[in-house]
Structure 1
């Protein structure tokens, strides 16, 4: 009788462990796939790059900013607004 009760405790625990292990492996595989896809998209963006148009802006501090000053360098523009 004691063996049977141990069996009914151990078997579900082993099945639970195997299920969690399989789920963890699946999640890691999906993350690796997403990372690889992200690198491919980033590489395509770098390959298809174009020069930006002429652009002059006013800085928050009040001074001017001309995009020509950054020619030959990678520039990220972040436009924000509040309503």
Structure 2
């Protein structure tokens, strides 16, 4: 009662294939595979030394017009009573 047999899984697989269709299931599988591949590449880039990834050069060439330079100040107790 606790685990499913192979026949249960085959029936579930058949119902899923009938509901979604094999074409959609194939596209979902390929999307999932490309997402896993991208994740692995991202983890590989994070482990490599700084400045050696090809994406770093592209990031440095982006325009900096959207950057705002701000000096943060701590709020003192006397500022609360003004």
TM-score normalised over the length of structure 2: 0.40
Bigger RCO (CA 8 Å, 6+ sep): 1
Instruction: Give 1 or 2 for the bigger CA radius of gyration.
Output: 1
TM-score for the superposition, normalised by structure 1? 0.39
| The structure with more strand, counted as a fraction of residues | 1
